[in-house]
Amino acid sequence: MQTLKGDVVMEQQIQIGWQGRFYEDFEVGDKIAHALGRTISQTDNSWFTQLTQNTNPIHFDHHYAKQTEFQKAIVNSAFTIALVTGQSVSDISQNVMANLGWDEVRLPHPVFEGDTIYSYTEILSKRESAKRNNVGIIEVKTTGYNQDGQIVIHFKRTMMIYKKGYAPNIMKPLIDQVISQDGK
């Protein structure tokens, strides 16, 4: 795209933001710290619990929860796995073709409303797909921990990740179209 600055024609280039890793970008043994943490609110816990029809009152009935050994509401563990998986997406599975499975999910410490959860992922293995030349298969272990450094969840996940040049590409043509319209 060209713009005129005074009497000089300037060539501008669109900078595309981070689009995640492709199969070739993963190396076994790498540990990737995910950038964003998230503080879990009472509303998050209550809504997620209701949305998934989890009827255990320890997630939404504070009077009930006070009578347990924890003395307060525990965050729905399905929310915890969803959050920690989500935290890893931009670094690990932005270019996933398909998740193949979650294994060995462990919850060594409870998560409470008000906790802030952070995470990181270790690359355990990678291999070419035997049936598809456009993807490879990676296995990772993702670990979530709270603001006190206590591990609250860890799990393995296996997925098919696109190789470079094979992922759907809607960003570049779309941004070119929008910018060309914006300049008019």
DSSP per residue, 18-42: -----GGG--TT-EEE-S--EEPPH
Instruction: Provide the sign of the torsion angle of the four alpha carbons 85, 88, 94, 100, taken in this order.
Output: negative
In a domain, 154, yes or no: yes
| Residue linked to tokens 């790498």 | 30
Cα–Cα distances in angstroms (integers) from residue 29 to residues 125, 140, 141, in the given order = 8, 10, 10
What CATH number is attached to the domain comprising 63?
Answer: 3.10.129.10
List of residues 6+ apart from 10 with CB closer than 8 A: 2, 3, 4
In a domain, 124, yes or no: yes
Express each pLDDT in 51-109 by its tens digit.
Answer: 999 999 999 999 999 999 999 999 999 999 999 999 999 999 999 999 999 999 999 99
The predicted structure's pLDDT at residue 41? 96
Burial 147-162 (b: 16+ CB within 10 A, else e): eeeeebbbbbbbbbbb
Q: Please return the burial class of 132, using the count of CB atoms within 10 Å of its CB with bins 0-12, 13-18 and 19+.
A: middle
In a domain, 77, yes or no: yes
In a domain, 61, yes or no: yes
In a domain, 132, yes or no: yes
Residue 7 has pLDDT above 70, yes or no: no
Range of the domain at 59: 23-165
Residue 5 has pLDDT above 70, yes or no: no
